[in-house]
Amino acid sequence: MLKSVALKAFSFPMLFPILESVWRTLPELWKTGTHEYKLWPCIDASSDSLCRSIEEPGQVELNFMMRFLIVVGLATSLAAVAMAAALPEISLKKTTDESRRVALQVSVELKNQLLREMQLSGPVRSLLVCRYTCPEILSAQSRKSGWKVAAVSLKPRNSALGMPDAWEQEVLMDFERRAARGEKVDALEFSEVVSEPQASYFRYARAMMMEPLCLPCHGSRDKMSDAVKAQLALDYPFDKAVDFSIGQVYGIVSIKRPF
């Protein structure tokens, strides 16, 4: 099974134990500072200037303050590291949410267009939605977002537009395995950051499920009308997008964007 590449980072709740530990350390710092303490390492035991005890007024407070500043500085550094490390995680979540929104919008728009054509003209005319409207919707979303937005399948109808690349093929096969284990097909999604020779990209995929609306043109070939068969033979002589059942993974909406 594919596993998403998670960007590990400190979480903001982790800062509270750090600050709490600083607060708990203060009494111990003061306790240590009130006892006799060598302020500097003893380089020469015979040298009073290098090996002096803290007994004079004000030296205890100075020692305590130095220790306090060191601990606070360490805590502040850890907090800064935590905040900086959390930024990629926040960015990844935002990117995932944006990609999911676009993928859902594509699926809804395609379904609405197909449903309207089926109700107005029937299955044969609805094939025009797959041939012309579907690429137009994907192209419009790509131009609007600046990302590559595609709809691909392991059994594409139009191999020129719907053939998956290596990453998409692996995701599609994984979705089929997950669906076979009982996961809801219409909720299947996957995302990760991938490194390619030229750059790093965020890849997102969301499953498209076979619905009753799709069966007249994508169901069993033996049950298709002669008119649909004839139109498919004319428009898609190498069509593979048939013999699906309701609830199967038909394909994915795939998004690729720089990251």
Q: What is the DSSP letter of 58?
A: T
- Round the CA-based radius of gyration of the chain to a whole number and report it: 32
Quick one: pLDDT at residue 128? 87
Quick one: pLDDT at residue 166? 97
Beta carbons within 8 Å of 256's beta carbon, 6+ residues apart:
147, 148, 150, 201, 202, 203, 204
Quick one: pLDDT at residue 146? 95
Quick one: pLDDT at residue 140? 96
Quick one: pLDDT at residue 87? 45
Quick one: pLDDT at residue 253? 98
Backbone angles phi and psi of 90, in degrees to 5: -65, -45
Q: Which two tokens stand for residue 16?
A: 């509270």
Which parts of the chain sit beneath pLDDT 70?
A: 1-89
The structure's pTM equals: 0.68
Picking from 177, 166, 172, 110, the residue whose alpha carbon sits closest to that of residue 137 is 110
Q: Other C-beta atoms within 10 Å of 134: how many?
A: 21
Does the CA dihedral 51-55-57-58 come out positive or negative? Answer: positive
Quick one: pLDDT at residue 1? 41
Quick one: pLDDT at residue 91? 85
